[in-house]
Structure 1
Amino acid sequence: MSQEVETRGTKPPAAPSWASIPNKFQLFIICTVRIVDFLQQAALQAYMFYQLKSFSPSAPDSQISFEAGVLQGVFTAAQVFTGILWGRVADSPRFGRKTVLLIGLTGQGISCVGVAFSRSFPVATVWRCLGGAVNATVGGARTALAESTEKKFHSRTFLLLPLAWNIANIIGPLFGGLLSDPVYHYPGLFGENSTFGGADGVGWLKTFPYAAPNLFCAFVLFADALLVWLGLRETLVSIKYNRDRGIELAEHISYRINTMVFRRFGYSQLGQVEVAGSDTLDDENIPSSTPLTSLPPKEVDHSYPSTSKPPPPSESPKSAPPFYHAITRNVLLVLATVALMDFQMGGFAQLWTVFLSSARRTDEEKATIRLPFVFAGGLQFSLPTIGLAMSILGFVGIILQLTLYPSVNARFGLLRSTQWSLFVFPIAYALAPYLSLLISAPILLWFGIVVVVVLQVAARTFAIPGSVLLINNSSPSPAMLGTIHGMGAATSSAFRTIGPIVAGHWYGQGLEKGVVGWAWWWLSLVSLIGVIPSFWARDGK
């Protein structure tokens, strides 16, 4: 009887909180990987239309729209052919997750430098294609994120992916818009007879007006590659205890800094303080009673990281299971959901950028307006205004993610929240072209922009983490996690390639027809069709 009462009185375990999540420093590094990856893409979208226009000043907007779609599409097109390959490399004991992340970050940084000094559309296209081919950060970061915490924490840790996207969408467009063509926008600093330009202005910035934002992105990517090398621990089970020279160097630097600080007082702290990549200790967890001594450092065995436990004897490197094991009905349904979702989100990114940049209605076009469908004209914002308008995506995303997502996801669950969020995309896309009718009323225009952005970002806030978790949970085996995420990355890349190109083509058709909503309404239809496979997929957890 007492046992029955005790059982009834037992409360169910509380849902994991952010404070209880382990390996926070590792999660932070993985999050920065996705931030800098998204950042270079978001920054490019802010000035891409104008950089392409600088290559061909006499080209019509319809051609520039198509070229913008191609420039954005070739990056993800290259990932289609390399995504699964990088997934297999990440699963290989010879390389692992950390190596592919380093390759991806470094390769993208080099690509940004190439785009910075491009003088034609074909050259910029080649550099973007090379950047996409070596970009192994998507699948690698998702896999490392999944392996850094237990499954019970995944509903929260996978929120870091859209959070990274939102942060990048604030920083990227702002810096992209502010750093573009500095000689024109800041003549007092970089123009003729300026502070930094001298009598003739800064020559290389006049020759390459869009080099500055590209070089900024390259610097950020290289800096994050250094952070990954020094701080990120390998998560692939078969090699996670192998020697890591980056971690060793970080520990050595950390020790030297601590030694210099305490040597001033003739002391050093007994025991080991937190080193790069470890969450076992932090400033709050070090007892105030820890004795201080001037003892020399202990010898460190580098056969495995000093803060990690040695591997069990049974653990040994194993090759990944055959690829065909990953082909299941549920995996295919989840990938179909991801494919159509990424098509319309890639299309939106393309249309939103071009729509903000396109010329407004002429007097002749005003005379041909026949509501509700026949009307033309873009918003023709300046570069700084485009950066601001695109940054709203990030601000709104963070607000919704921190306020709306936790309660809705807790009430309805992962799968249902993802499914119903897909119904919101078509509404946002159907409304977007009508913003051009509000061009003469700035307050109403910005209100309309916020409405469209809130709808699109709200849908994305639920759809992105949900789809990534569905991919993760559909894996037939933990040993195939890298392969599954590689398949997801390849599928995502394929349809993010097709989406911008097709959307750019539709937009060009719409400009020729005098119907600016042509592309938007086709995109709305595709996003509506994308709801169907999500109701056949299941959460394979």
Structure 2
Amino acid sequence: MREFRSVTWAHGSFMGRGISLNGIAGDATAPRALNRPASSEMGSSSRRPGGKPSPSDEQTPLLSEQPKSPQNGELGSPRDSTEDSDVEAPKPQPVSWTSIPRKGQLAIMVFARLAEPLSERSLTSYLFYQLKWLEPSLNDAEIAKTAGYLTATFAAAQCITSMWWGHAADSPLFGRKRVLIIGLVGTTLSAIGMGFSTSIYFAFFFRFLAGALNGNVGVLRTMVSEVILDKRYQSRAFLLLPMCFNVGAIIGPLLSGFLADPINSLPNIFGPGSFFGGEDGVYWMTRFPYALPNLFSAVILLTAALGIILGLEETHPVLRHKPDRGRQLGKILTRKILRRGSDPSYEPLQAEIDDDATISVPMDDEAEQTQPSRDPIKERPRFRSIFTRNVCLTLLQSFLQSLHVSAFNSVFFILLPTPRADNSTASLPFSFGGGLGLSSQKIGFANTIIGTVGIPLQLFVYLRINDRIGVLKSYRIFLPLSILAYFVLPYLVLLPEKAAVIWSCLAVVLSVHVISRVFCGPATMLLVNASAPAPTLLGTVHGFASSTSSAARIMGPTIGGAVLGWGLEHNYVGMAMWGMAIVAMVNWGLLLWIKDVDMSL
């Protein structure tokens, strides 16, 4: 009887909503039907006054299917519809620079990335003159070759060691953070040694040391993808790394152009009879004229290393929740500096969750991020498993991209200080020689053009276009601009020796090249990051990509410097740039076989 009454109540509540034959509900009767006793429902709804069954009883089975929610377009109980209307689906947070998570951690990584190109790019302002000071017997063509070899030495050391640094970053013995610290300290030592070198052989040794002890590029890319788990924000996060190149291209060469040879460039400050120099000038600056910009770079690098020790989280899946004495010390120092907390002996428990991580990481990503610490990876995939078809194609396009970009960075900044030539006997369109004859200070301004054009493009233009047309398509569209810049740039040496004409044309050609690099650089990193077959191989893939690009940076400056030297001797100065255009065309054709990157969740 109890079972029959419960079934009848369900039927009565369904009928009590006043459902007509055409499906229109009469909600006015719903409260009275719901409050009606079960016995009255059974008596009134089961039979007519005449004792015959009602048509609704015959057409509606007692054990009918549970009605669905009105929100789905069908009928349901008032209680269900009320509950469903109260619960709203969470709206996705709009993607913007202000909404990007983990800003504090990204800031530390960005500063560490900025410190290295700032040190590396500063060489471009005075390398030609430092080599001439180290070996006065070299002519312009030999200096061009030597500068290419010196750049290739750095890349060769990176090619040999980057893959192993990436493998060490994936190993629980080292982790990401230790590898970054080693890289920054190694770059600091090499910068100091480069500044105090007294022969070309010492310069080659310290450039090799800088490359051998530095595998930070691949490790930083790995950490960005592990800190920013939401793919909607990864395009912005990865954009920060190449943006550092443009910031370093502004600050580094501009400062080093004035700090190089300070006795002559800043005589009122360091020269004879100056404020710091005294009667004979600063002695060590006279003996080592290119040490001051390297000491400046060393200070920036050590500051970045200290920031990593005190503030950066370890993102390795196994090590991320283990005690970090550096971060604990950093929190204590932060509290003391900001005068937070009343008990100076208080130390936070390691199990505490960082506030930044709690409020910034979405629930799904946070659960995914903390899962490896509770369930450590028992077996790592084999190294050879990274060589899938897409990974190989992605690494090949990364190689070609690095090949023509590194060749440009070497050849262009040797072409700028090369003295101008008398092209009265030039045979156009291909036979002509000479350079632009710019000083180290003016070369710094040329680097400033690259950074000044690149940063606004990355902040305001790149993201809008990339979000609209996609990573790979924007790569395909803007890469041909580099081809155009490579082809046109050698003809600048034929311009009349007027500052307004030279700088106007130089600014236009560099702007075209920078527009291309703004879209191609981040795309290369995103494609490499997306090609990793497993999260545990992410550091290895980035390390291998760094080794591959380092191999390209060996070939690019070496071949480019040799071809430029030959061109200066035989009045074919444009051969190096035109060769880069051919490589860039091959790079462009390879993009047809690469898989695109999905930046959605």
Deviates more, 1:507-516 or 1:299-308: 299-308
User: TM-score, normalization: structure 2?
Assistant: 0.80
Shift of 1:215: 1.1
Matched, 1:177 2:243: no
Matched, 1:3 2:72: yes
Shift of 1:441: 3.0
Residue equivalent to 1:128:
207
Residue equivalent to 1:142:
221
CA distance in 2, matches of 1:242, 1:11: 34
CA distance in 2, matches of 1:305, 1:196: 51
Which whole-Å deviations, capped at 9, do the CAs of 1:314-334 have from their partners, x for residues lacking one? 322545321001001100101
Structure 2 gap ranges (5+): 1-69, 75-83, 359-368
SS in 2 for 1:530: helix
Matched, 1:57 2:136: yes
Which letter maps to 1:349?
N
Residue of structure 2 aligned with 1:316, choices 376, 386, 396? 376
Shift of 1:178: 0.9
Matched, 1:354 2:420: no
Deviates more, 1:222-231 or 1:310-319: 310-319
Instruction: Give 1:470-481 correspondences, 5 Å limit.
Output: 470-481=527-538
Residue equivalent to 1:277:
none
Residue equivalent to 1:402:
459
Structure 1 gap ranges (5+): 260-267, 270-293
Q: 1:252 and 1:522, CA in 2 relative to 1: closer, same or farther beyond 3 A?
A: same
CA distance in 2, matches of 1:186, 1:172: 17
CA distance in 1, matches of 2:408, 2:469: 27
CA distance in 2, matches of 1:142, 1:127: 25
CA distance in 1, matches of 2:155, 2:557: 10
Matched, 1:510 2:558: no
User: TM-score, normalization: structure 1?
Assistant: 0.89
Q: 1:43 and 1:242, CA in 2 relative to 1: closer, same or farther beyond 3 A?
A: same
Which letter maps to 1:110?
L
SS in 1 for 2:416: helix
Residue equivalent to 1:262:
none
Residue equivalent to 1:45:
124
CA distance in 2, matches of 1:486, 1:479: 13
Q: Which has the larger radius of gyration?
A: 2
Which whole-Å deviations, capped at 9, do the CAs of 1:371-408 have from their partners, x for residues lacking one? 22222111111111110111111111102112321221
SS in 2 for 1:93: coil
Which whole-Å deviations, capped at 9, do the CAs of 1:482-521 have from their partners, x for residues lacking one? 0010011111111012101111011011111112212111
Q: 1:367 and 1:27, CA in 2 relative to 1: closer, same or farther beyond 3 A?
A: same
Which letter maps to 2:477?
W
Residue equivalent to 1:84:
163
Residue equivalent to 1:495:
552
Asked whether the 8 Å contact 2:332–2:347 carries over to 1, the reply is no
Shift of 1:258: 3.5
Q: 1:302 and 1:185, CA in 2 relative to 1: closer, same or farther beyond 3 A?
A: same
Which whole-Å deviations, capped at 9, do the CAs of 1:264-291 have from their partners, x for residues lacking one? xxxx65xxxxxxxxxxxxxxxxxxxxxx
Residue of structure 2 aligned with 1:329, choices 356, 367, 389? 389
Matched, 1:187 2:267: yes
CA distance in 1, matches of 2:344, 2:579: 69
SS in 2 for 1:454: helix
Percent identical residues = 40
Shift of 1:420: 2.1
Shift of 1:302: 3.8
Deviates more, 1:177-186 or 1:198-207: 198-207
Shift of 1:257: 2.5
Residue of structure 2 aligned with 1:75, choices 135, 141, 154? 154
Residue of structure 2 aligned with 1:26, choices 105, 129, 132? 105
CA distance in 2, matches of 1:479, 1:52: 44
Which whole-Å deviations, capped at 9, do the CAs of 1:402-456 have from their partners, x for residues lacking one? 2321221122101111122222111001010111122423222111111111111
Shift of 1:13: 4.6
Shift of 1:297: 6.1
Residue of structure 2 aligned with 1:254, choices 334, 357, 360? 334
CA distance in 1, matches of 2:235, 2:212: 30
Residue equivalent to 1:465:
522
Which whole-Å deviations, capped at 9, do the CAs of 1:437-478 have from their partners, x for residues lacking one? 224232221111111111111111011110100000000001
Q: 1:370 and 1:295, CA in 2 relative to 1: closer, same or farther beyond 3 A?
A: closer
Which whole-Å deviations, capped at 9, do the CAs of 1:197-223 have from their partners, x for residues lacking one? 222221111111111111111111111
Asked whether the 8 Å contact 1:92–1:319 carries over to 2, the reply is no
Which letter maps to 1:485?
H
Which whole-Å deviations, capped at 9, do the CAs of 1:49-107 have from their partners, x for residues lacking one? 11001011221111100111111111111011111101110011111111110000000
SS in 1 for 2:374: coil
Residue equivalent to 1:35:
114
Residue equivalent to 1:525:
582
Residue equivalent to 2:435:
378
Shift of 1:4: 5.6
Which letter maps to 1:64?
I
Instruction: Give 1:418-497 correspondences, 5 Å limit.
Output: 418-497=475-554
CA distance in 2, matches of 1:180, 1:36: 18
CA distance in 1, matches of 2:99, 2:353: 24
**Bigger RCO (CA 8 Å, 6+ sep):** 1
Shift of 1:311: 5.4
CA distance in 1, matches of 2:376, 2:384: 23
Asked whether the 8 Å contact 2:436–2:493 carries over to 1, the reply is yes
Q: 1:105 and 1:201, CA in 2 relative to 1: closer, same or farther beyond 3 A?
A: same
Asked whether the 8 Å contact 1:34–1:164 carries over to 2, the reply is yes
Shift of 1:296: 6.9
SS in 1 for 2:319: coil
Residue of structure 1 aligned with 2:181, choices 102, 124, 127? 102
Instruction: Give 1:257-268 correspondences, 5 Å limit.
Output: 257-259=337-339
Which whole-Å deviations, capped at 9, do the CAs of 1:115-165 have from their partners, x for residues lacking one? 011111111011110110010211111001111112221111111012111
Residue equivalent to 1:275:
none
Aligned-residue RMSD, C-alpha: 2.3
Matched, 1:345 2:405: yes
Shift of 1:40: 1.0
Q: 1:436 and 1:296, CA in 2 relative to 1: closer, same or farther beyond 3 A?
A: closer
Asked whether the 8 Å contact 1:243–1:303 carries over to 2, the reply is no
Asked whether the 8 Å contact 1:91–1:320 carries over to 2, the reply is no
Asked whether the 8 Å contact 2:472–2:597 carries over to 1, the reply is no
SS in 2 for 1:158: helix
CA distance in 1, matches of 2:465, 2:73: 34
